[in-house]
């Protein structure tokens, strides 16, 4: 009887162990189960993010369903608020986000330089090489940066298809576009500053074009949502350097909002994520990062949150392959590397903002 019991116990352990391994994503190391168990003991992961809570909702639900017992404490902030809060908390030595997930690629990489844990995600082989920095910071999305316009008030024939066409359109009708053009306030939005710098690097005539675009005066905002709302209402007619993911999501239910993808070059943003070193919920943080990068997580982002995937193996067209078919060589991904840090040097940043203000007459 004792022998039978021992055999049954061994068989049960084999079944449980086999089931645990079966639950792991394909290609993950067998010892990843220890990470899963560690995360369940921690019970939560704290995420500091610039991705809207509404957009991230399906991802959070999918994660919590995949890992019962591990809750997501999700903190949605604008890029500047996230950076300042995280820096302050780290300096004070208190609790902070276990994971940072930011659309402001440069400030996110700056934080990663000082505070990121080194972690080789099992998913990194599925990512472009430019999206992985030192096994610390990871690009997680593939989001074209677009123009938006009011379909009722901008004739189809006037819709610009390049940065030069945008500047020409507005400079040619300064009265029509007076205080009707919107973009990010680069002093208040880390994302806005980063996109402006990337435009400058991509276009030798950037400041000349900016001066033309600003001939009627710019209205600047710190959020994409506000810009889309104002263009949709007609308070503004056109906006530039808008996250295409948010614009596409809104356009599904807003027939007034038009979207134009510039054909001269289209910047591609990738939200940067990293795990905080020495954080209390390190295992849960690994689970979250891996889930965001996984085929399952990326499918949720692409097909439920309308945020294009950085992978090639996603259902539908909202991934790298789909964007490449649509825009081809115009796509200009912003790499996750040290080049992002150049204009964060204080003097260089202040000089750049001064030049931007002069060109934009701000």
* pLDDT reading at 12 higher than 50: no
Cα distances (angstroms) measured from residue 279 to each of 74, 150, 282, 336: 16, 46, 6, 23
Mean pLDDT, residues 325-351:
96
Using pLDDT thresholds of 50, 70 and 90, give the confidence band for residue 23.
low
* pTM (two decimals): 0.90
CATH topology identical between 27-140+271-318 and 143-268+341-360: yes
| Residue matched to tokens 């040097």 | 345
Rounded distance between C-alpha atoms, residue 322 and residue 193, angstroms: 28
Residue pLDDT, tens place only, 80-98: 899 999 999 999 988 899 9
Token output for 120: 């080789």
Tell me which CATH code domain 143-268+341-360 carries: 3.40.190.10
Rounded distance between C-alpha atoms, residue 297 and residue 40, angstroms: 19
Q: Where are the domains of the chain?
A: 27-140+271-318, 143-268+341-360
Q: Which residues pair with 143 in a beta bridge?
A: 269
| Contact residues for 112 (Cβ-Cβ < 8 A; gap 6+) | 100, 133, 136, 137, 272, 274
Where is average pLDDT lowest: 9-13, 197-201, 278-282, 335-339? Answer: 9-13
Residue pLDDT, tens place only, 96-137: 999 999 999 999 999 999 999 999 999 999 999 999 999 999
Q: Which residues pair with 31 in a beta bridge?
A: none
Tell me which CATH code domain 27-140+271-318 carries: 3.40.190.10
């Amino acid at each position: 009887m004792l022998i039978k019991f021992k055999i049954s116990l061994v068989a049960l352990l084999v079944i449980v162990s086999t089931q645990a391994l079966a639950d792991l994503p394909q290609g993950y190391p067998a010892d990843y189960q220890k990470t899963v168990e560690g995360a369940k003991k921690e019970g939560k992961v704290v995420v500091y993010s610039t991705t809207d809570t509404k957009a991230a909702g399906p991802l959070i639900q999918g994660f919590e369903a995949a890992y019962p017992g591990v809750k997501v404490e999700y903190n949605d902030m604008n890029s500047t608020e996230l950076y300042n809060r995280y820096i302050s908390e780290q300096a004070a030595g208190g609790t902070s986000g276990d994971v940072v997930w930011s659309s402001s690629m440069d400030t996110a990489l700056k934080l990663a330089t000082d505070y990121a844990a080194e972690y080789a995600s099992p998913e990194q082989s599925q990512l472009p090489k430019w999206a992985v920095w030192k096994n610390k910071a990871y690009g997680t999305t593939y989001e074209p940066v677009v123009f938006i316009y009011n379909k009722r008030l901008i004739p189809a024939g006037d819709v610009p298809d390049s940065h030069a066409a945008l500047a020409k359109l507005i400079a040619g009708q300064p009265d029509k576009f007076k205080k009707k053009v919107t973009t990010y306030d680069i002093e208040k939005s880390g994302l806005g500053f980063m996109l402006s710098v990337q435009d400058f690097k991509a276009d030798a005539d950037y400041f000349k074009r900016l001066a033309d675009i600003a001939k009627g005066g710019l209205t600047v905002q710190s959020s994409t949502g506000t810009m889309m709302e104002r263009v949709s209402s007609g308070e503004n007619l056109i906006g530039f350097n808008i996250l295409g993911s948010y614009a596409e999501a809104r356009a599904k239910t807003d027939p007034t909002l038009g979207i134009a993808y510039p054909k001269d070059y289209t910047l591609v943003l990738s939200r940067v994520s990293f795990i905080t070193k020495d954080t209390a919920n390190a295992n849960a943080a690994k689970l979250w990062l891996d889930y965001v990068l996984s085929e399952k997580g990326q499918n949720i982002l692409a097909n439920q949150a309308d945020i294009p995937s950085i992978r090639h193996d996603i259902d539908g067209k909202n991934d790298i392959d789909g964007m490449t078919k649509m825009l081809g060589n115009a796509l200009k991904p912003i790499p996750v590397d040290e080049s992002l840090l150049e204009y964060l040097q204080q003097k260089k940043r202040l000089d750049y903002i001064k030049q931007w203000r002069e060109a934009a007459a701000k």
